[in-house]
Amino acid sequence: IHYQPQYEFENNKLVGFEALSRWMHKDLGYISPDVFIRIAEDIGLHFEFDLWVFTQVCHQIVQWREEYVYSPRIAINISFKTLEMTDFVTRLQSIIEHSGCPTNLLEIEVTETASISNMITLIDNVRAVKKLGINIAIDDFGTGYSSLSLVRTLRSSLDTLKIDRSLVADICSSPLDREFARKVIGLGEVLEVKVLAEGVETLAQRDLLQELGCDYAQGYYFDKALTVKAAEKLIIKQRNE
């Protein structure tokens, strides 16, 4: 698991990390999570996989704290199919209790997919996760199936809207894309949630997003997903600044 830093525009402060899974296969080399997560979903392994990642992150936060390394909040991607499972919240609760990880240091990223079969359980689960003290983010907002009605239904449980990187890519050259970004940031204000721009790759994009009122940023302009050691160094460096 690697950790990609998230920064606050206003003061360039490190505000969080996103946990991103990496798989180096001995014969096939690097396999993108876009590929293996889909396979995990197809063969029904997504539930155990997502819980495994969640467990690893809880342990990492606790281990760091034992070494006096105080990480900011860490976001974990949870597949929609996992969020539909009835025992999801009970399992999360037990992982939290066993690890002793403070829930205010955890965030769950929810991505909508086409095949939501159990919408009622999903909504109940998101609300129950929020009640545990965990932050909720909507991932890849503005693409695929991320719907306004879901965001509206879940609004009282939401903390962060993550603007998909495809909407960020051309904001400097396309007036249309710039207006789209402005409206999504405005939607964040209406919902009273923080807005994070994904895939920020240039200083020009960074500056424009700040001007548009975006709260947080993540992307190659700042950092790629870091190893545990590199993330640890960054946390210590920020603390000493």
Residues that bind ligand C2E (CB under 6 A): 4, 20-21, 32-34, 37, 50, 53, 77-79, 109, 111, 139-140, 165, 198-201, 219-220, 225
Q: Give me the least distance between CB of 194 and ligand C2E, in Å please.
A: 16
Number of Cβ within a 10 Å radius of residue 171: 24
CB of 11 to ligand C2E, least distance (A): 21
20 binds, among ligand C2E, Mg ion, none (CB under 5 to 8 A by kind): ligand C2E
The Cα 132–Cα 75 span in angstroms is 15
Q: Smaller CB distance to ligand C2E: residue 67 or 144?
A: 144
Residue 119's SS3 state is helix
State the binding partner of 5 from Mg ion, ligand C2E, none, CB within 5 to 8 A by kind.
none
Tokens of 91: 């399992």
Measured from the Cβ of residue 158, the count of other Cβ atoms closer than 10 Å reads 23
| Residue ranges binding Mg ion (CB under 5 A) | 77, 109, 139-140, 198
Closest to ligand C2E by CB, 34 vs 66, is 34
Q: Which is nearer to ligand C2E, 78 or 92 (CB)?
A: 78
Residues 130, 106 contacting (CB under 8 angstroms)? no
Contact of residue 186 among Mg ion, ligand C2E, none (CB under 5-8 Å per partner type): none
Choose among 1, 13, 15: nearest CA to 162: 15
Residue 190 or 203 with smaller CB distance to ligand C2E: 203
How far apart CA 60 and CA 2 sit, in angstroms, is 11
Nearer to ligand C2E, 29 or 190 (CB): 29
Angstrom CA distances, 190 to 101, 193, 209, stand at 32, 8, 18
Structure-block tokens of residue 88? 């999801």
**112 interacts with, out of Mg ion, ligand C2E, none, CB within 5 to 8 A per kind:** none
d(CA 193, CA 138): 10
Task: Output the smallest distance, CB 17 to ligand C2E, in A.
Answer: 12
